[in-house]
Structure 1
Amino acid sequence: MDRQKIIDALKKALEDKGKKKFTQSVELAVNFRDIDFNKQENRLNLEVVLPKGKGKEQKVGVFADGQFALEAKKLGVLVIGSDELPKIAADKAKLTSMLSYEFLAQPNLMAVVAKHLGQVLGTKGKLPKPLVGTKIDEAVERAKKVVKIRSKGKYLPVTHCPVGTENMTPEDIADNIEAVLDAVKAKTGEQRIKSIFVKLTMGKSQKIGE
């Protein structure tokens, strides 16, 4: 994919932003051909670190006790102890408010988190990543920049994901788009990508390459 074509499409999309009362996200849509997403092995379930970040704050929560909790608190993230899980599970409003977070967990708490919150977090793709083989501060910084790329159901040959906001430069958003496309192409092959579009939350879609 020609980088300049990505930047040109982004500039067109950003021209359409107007004045909104909120910061719009820049969204990437990739359409596929000749892929049977009904087959489990073909479905997309990827995580990509956006090199230039999301362009807005990503809240991070850490399920931890003891020393893990103390270290996490120093980073200013939401820290949830194992003794809090039953109460959160019973509080639907609290649990719903947490769905905008990305989660990490102390390894020995993974099963406990799954027991109490797995039914909700799992269906939303929000199950925590175990803190294994990495420092908490590095894991938190990664979580702030990660986007998830999922197939849209069994029969829809398309995927969408945010790649920045309207306040970012086209060049920085292009860096993020290239990272996403590299990951997608590694899974599907470039020849199975039919078309690619970018748009603002409330804007018109702009096809990359036109």
Structure 2
Amino acid sequence: MPKHGKKYQEAAKLIERGKLYDPEEAVELVKKTASAKFDETVEVAVKLGVDPKHADQQVRGAVVLPYGTGKTKRVLVFAKGEKAKEAEEAGADFVGAEDMVAKIQEGWTDFDVAVATPDMMGMVGRLGKILGPKGLMPNPKVGTVTMDVARAVKEIKAGKIEYRTDKAGNIHAPIGKVSFDNEKLLKNFYTLIDTLIRVKPAAAKGQYLRSITLSTTMGPGVKVSTLRAPGKKD
């Protein structure tokens, strides 16, 4: 078992062991447990009742959080001609084609998300061994292989996040910063949870939302009741 520092242990005392908190309580509590000197990220871990070994039970996609994540992502767009111009006007940080491919092959990966037009994927495919392990490869399933590069860039800049089940069927995603007010964190939380419910695989059997945990970058986890989580509206 890893040893935790005094701040973590003090924060953990605020959480009642075994209790499932309503989302509103959980958000308030998780902010109280943040003790780092920097603005910690608030993260959600969701255990889904799926078996990711089966292709028809994998859960993967993207969602635009209404209040973003508190972090501005650096976006690279692989495009040419008019599409390259559209990407630049939409606010892409880097735009190019062969030049960007060559730069990445030389070891540069100073960006957070890569977008590509479909015609560029033959060229971008050569970067699979570099971008794949880093989770930076453009993918049509999450909307990063598209002709509408302007929309893709704007959504990413506005707070679009990707989600994907790991080998154990868990999804980890950021929903904002400790400095966000409770309402914004809750809105982002419900947007993510509602999206996961909406994309539930037809092959998934039994309880789908097995557990939900909120935490900050350096803080302990707060377990959230799955009975209150879905379907929350304004």
Match of 2:196 in 1: 184
Go from structure 1 to structure 2 and tell me whether the alpha carbon gap of 1:161 and 1:89 turns closer, same or farther (over 3 Å shift): same
Quote how far apart the aligned CAs of 1:175 are: 1.1
In 2: Cα distance, 1:38 partner to 1:130 partner: 25
1:51-107 Cα offsets, whole Å, 9 max, x none, are: 211122122111122222233223442233223134223322x12x33xx1122233
Match of 1:166 in 2: 178
Match of 2:187 in 1: 175
In 2: Cα distance, 1:191 partner to 1:121 partner: 35
Q: Does 1:30 align with 2:40?
A: no
Match of 2:122 in 1: 111
2:155 to 134, 139, 142: 142
Match of 1:127 in 2: 137
Preserved contact between residue 78 and residue 100 of structure 2 (Cα < 8 Å): no
Quote how far apart the aligned CAs of 1:135 are: 6.0
Go from structure 1 to structure 2 and tell me whether the alpha carbon gap of 1:75 and 1:152 turns closer, same or farther (over 3 Å shift): same
Preserved contact between residue 9 and residue 207 of structure 1 (Cα < 8 Å): yes
What is the one-letter code of the residue matched to 1:5?
D
In 1: Cα distance, 2:160 partner to 2:25 partner: 25
What is the one-letter code of the residue matched to 1:185?
I
Q: Does 1:12 align with 2:29?
A: yes
Aligned pairs for 1:84-95 within 5 A: 84-92=99-107, 94-95=108-109
In 1: Cα distance, 2:222 partner to 2:128 partner: 38
Number of aligned residues: 196
2:22 alignment partner, SS class: helix
TM-score, normalisation: structure 1:
0.82
In 1: Cα distance, 2:98 partner to 2:52 partner: 40
1:123 alignment partner, SS class: coil
Go from structure 1 to structure 2 and tell me whether the alpha carbon gap of 1:37 and 1:107 turns closer, same or farther (over 3 Å shift): closer
2:58 to 43, 67, 72: 43
1:170-205 Cα offsets, whole Å, 9 max, x none, are: 211111111111121221579321221100000111
What is the one-letter code of the residue matched to 1:113?
V
What is the one-letter code of the residue matched to 1:103?
A
1:104 alignment partner, SS class: strand
Q: Which has the higher contact order (CA 8 A, sep 6+)?
A: 1
In 1: Cα distance, 2:27 partner to 2:96 partner: 43
In 2: Cα distance, 1:73 partner to 1:86 partner: 17
Gaps of 5+ in 2: 1-20, 139-143, 227-234
Q: Does 1:57 align with 2:72?
A: yes
1:130-172 Cα offsets, whole Å, 9 max, x none, are: 332x361x3212122221211111xx13221111111211211
1:149 alignment partner, SS class: strand
In 2: Cα distance, 1:84 partner to 1:135 partner: 18
Preserved contact between residue 86 and residue 149 of structure 2 (Cα < 8 Å): no
Preserved contact between residue 77 and residue 114 of structure 2 (Cα < 8 Å): yes
2:115 alignment partner, SS class: strand
Preserved contact between residue 48 and residue 208 of structure 2 (Cα < 8 Å): yes
Gaps of 5+ in 1: none
Match of 1:152 in 2: 166
Go from structure 1 to structure 2 and tell me whether the alpha carbon gap of 1:87 and 1:148 turns closer, same or farther (over 3 Å shift): same
